[in-house]
Amino acid sequence: MSTHDASPDDRREAIVRALRQVRDPEIPVNIHDLGLIYGIDLRDDGAVHIRMTLTSPNCPVAELLPGQVQAAARTVEGVTDVTVEVVWDPTWTADMMSEAAKLEL
């Protein structure tokens, strides 16, 4: 079964795996476990909308990281289009990190 034929949950998991390859350059943890991904919305036609934040509005990679997220999600089979929306509400805090990320730091 290809990812295009996969269930939405399977496709979401494949996108999460791809996003775990993107790392915040200032904090040696992937952006998903860091808690920067707020939402992944999938459409039946393969389009994906990702809501994310940054650790700070003054983040030096503010212009680069969303593009890296978009490129990573596009690598998933069956994904036809990716839009990334950077949001600031809620404000990111270290409490949003996964337990694995907290242990890694």
Structural tokens at position 97? 């990190």
Per-residue pLDDT of the chain (105 residues; tens, 9 = 90+): 444 467 888 999 999 999 999 998 878 899 999 999 999 999 999 999 999 999 888 877 788 999 999 999 999 999 999 999 999 999 999 999 999 899 888
- Between CA 51 and CA 15 the distance in angstroms is 13
- In this prediction the pTM is 0.89
Amino acid in the structure at residue 39: G
